[in-house]
Structure 1
Amino acid sequence: IIVGYIISMIMGRVDFTAISTAAWIQVPTPFHFGIKFIPSAIASISVIYIVNSVEAVGDLSAITEGGLSRDAKDTEISGGIIGSGVASVLGVLFGGLPTATYSQNVGIVAMTKVISKFVVMIAALFMLIAGFIPKFGALITTIPQSVLGGATIIVFAMITMTGIKIIIKDELSSRNMSIVGLSVALGMGVTQVPGVLDAFPSGVNMVFGTSPVVITTISVILLNL
């Protein structure tokens, strides 16, 4: 990314306008948007977080497989989900967005084999600096899309191979291949075909139409009964 950024600067493809317009210091204000209890919103977000927890189980399992070459322990999975929830609570208190586990991190861990908590703490420190010093955050946003795209190609390739590695740990019988193949096809198909769930209630569309993980997980569980 650094090399690509430097080359982009030489080619004049980096726009520094965001840095010049950003402030030097900005302190987040707790409860900036106030507090409102809206039952429908609470119900919707609760469902989304159930979906997010399902995705987190997959991400945490893939990280331990890619970084440590072993299955994730129950304590590690539960700790990761709890940590994500606590971070979301703290984030929204200061006007931020809820957090989620990101599959991109799986590819980075699988590629570098770096799974140290110290490295994560350093990354979190950089994020805090970007939050309190908007100019630093604006500097990060100047990274060209072409540079990010080149980096994510490798990352998502590693994510795919890590997932395949987890799948083939079990015997690839005709039954297992049918379950995995059909579930992946359903998950990807529903999210890739716009409007396929339009005839259903908005709640169904929100839960099943936003992420292929939900449909894939439900399909695997039902077919494996």
Structure 2
Amino acid sequence: MPLPVVYTSFPTRESRSEFVADHFSQYLDGTVLDVGCFEAPLRDLLKAATYTGIDFCGNPDLKIDLETMTRLPFDKDSYRAVLCIDTLEHLENLHFVFDEVVRVSSQFIIASLPNCWCDARRPIEKGRGQFGHYGLPTTRPQDRHKWFFSMSEAREFTDAKARAHGIEIIEQFVAEKPRPAITRWLRSIRYSGNRYQNRYARTLWTVFEKKRVRT
């Protein structure tokens, strides 16, 4: 079944960070770890949080190479909320890093995954062009996507990880670029059910919650 949709776009990293700070504010009023923060714009946006950003480049509070680490340097349940925004797809050890994110969170995990099919669709249909973070550049890039997956596969991943860790998905939606209603309707007639979101939804957003065991 297709997920709820938020119609928005993020032309810059800053606009995406503003969306995160606004939409998920109810989860971000305590200790927050931002995994893959780059320039850490959320540091100034999350006024009610005690913020820590980690990455191997940019302006993090702590420099960590997520692909070579053996564990995140934090104890279990160290942060009330852990953010992992458009980060996992850049990592060869995606599954391990997600497991570590769950370990160091005491309550909430907020993760986003791109729908790689969406950006690839038009160039492939036209037989020309390219799509970001993939392809074969003439020089080795500092960063690239290591995984290519659809929206359906992203949902299967989040569902499987929730089951494996015994955590609950309490909010999940897709972000789709704003289009006229008639355009969306015509597309939905041609591509029904999950096919529509596999083609046109850009990002999967998920909030997981760790349920505390009562003693």
* Fold shared, TM-score > 0.5 on shorter chain: no
Q: Which has the higher contact order (CA 8 A, sep 6+)?
A: 1
| TM-score normalised per structure 2 | 0.23
Computing the radius of gyration over CA atoms, which structure comes out larger, 1 or 2?
Answer: 1
| TM-score normalised per structure 1 | 0.23
Richer in strand (by share): 2
